Amino acid sequence: MSSTRHAMPRLKSLALLAFALAGALPAHAAADDPECGAAELAVLGRELRIDHFVPGPADFGQDANGVVVASSCRKSPDDPRLTLAAVAWDAHAEDSKALVVAVIDASASLALLKDEIGEDAATQVTSGSLRLDTAPYRLAPDVRAFGVDVLPADASCGDGGSGASRTLYVREGKALRPVLQGLTMSEYRYVRGNQARCVSDPRQAETAIVEDFKVSIGLGVPGKGGWRDLVLTGTSKRSDHKPGRRPLHVHVRYGGGGYPLDTFQQAWTAWRK
């Protein structure tokens, strides 16, 4: 089992980002992404052999023993008979929630991957923490990926934080394989001041200046084995309307079974300094 403790880093906040693809590909993941219904949860509960695989009272469920804490389901763009699902549940593990990502039909799971999402005191997985991204990631001939964003709630006070962490999956028979793991789609930092609940002087919040950083994913030219490069573009915007930084563009080639992010992370860190 792969570990989201590395694939999806511990997250701190910020709202969902607008998702743009450099090749003018539209976003297909609304902020009101629908939660999974009883039928989808029943299929996954049987596959996982977990009883009470439904939301509990804390998440407006009717089952006092329900274990599901967050879910997102969307019809597959390529085959509306299939449903893409991401569900997090309480497996009673310390500092984490269990995660399953799956492709299901009306009666069975066709492809499935189990994982986990790390938590800490400031970042907790709650209802609304999962979002499916069905933008047309046509990475190679006959290969289309879909994304899962993880957005833990944030109650911390600091000089900045991070937004959604995105992982892209491709289906291979009865398995799902992550090919891009834990890409942080946004960050922010306070250039001056902080949010109202984090400062004693209201003027520090009223005059606060925030710089937002966003990442978009584009598709480049085909490379090894017909797999397209990913073009990761960073942009920045300040709340005081001063000019942002020059955009950052990094091409990431497919290799070793996925898209490694080391080079992008180094460039991203240097660009934000």
Per-residue model confidence as pLDDT tens digits over 125-144: 999 999 999 999 999 999 99
Mean pLDDT computed over 214-222 = 97
Query: Parallel, antiparallel, or unpaired: how do β-strands 209-222 and 186-192 relate?
Result: antiparallel
Residues of the domain holding 224:
4-272
What's the full length of the chain, in residues? 273
pLDDT in tens, 61-103: 788 899 999 999 999 999 999 999 999 999 999 999 999 999 9
For residue 211, give Cα distances in angstroms to 148, 227, 245, 273.
Answer: 25, 34, 10, 12
Q: Are 85 and 36 in contact (CB under 8 A)?
A: yes
Side chain identity at residue 78, one-letter code: D
Tell me the pLDDT tens digit for each residue of 42-72.
999 999 999 999 998 877 778 889 999 999 9
DSSP result, 93-160: -TTEEEEEEEEE-SSSEEEEEEEEEE--SSEE--TT-EEEEEEEEEEETTEEEEEEEE--EE---SSE
pLDDT digits (tens, 9 = 90+) for 161-182: 889 999 999 999 999 999 999 9
**Positive or negative CA dihedral for 2, 6, 7, 12?**
positive
Helix residue ranges, H only, the chain = 4-7, 38-48, 202-206, 262-272
| Count of structural domains, the chain | 1
Q: pLDDT at position 80, please?
A: 93
> What is the rounded CA–CA span in Å between residue 100 and residue 87?
5
d(CA 70, CA 248): 33
pTM of the model: 0.85
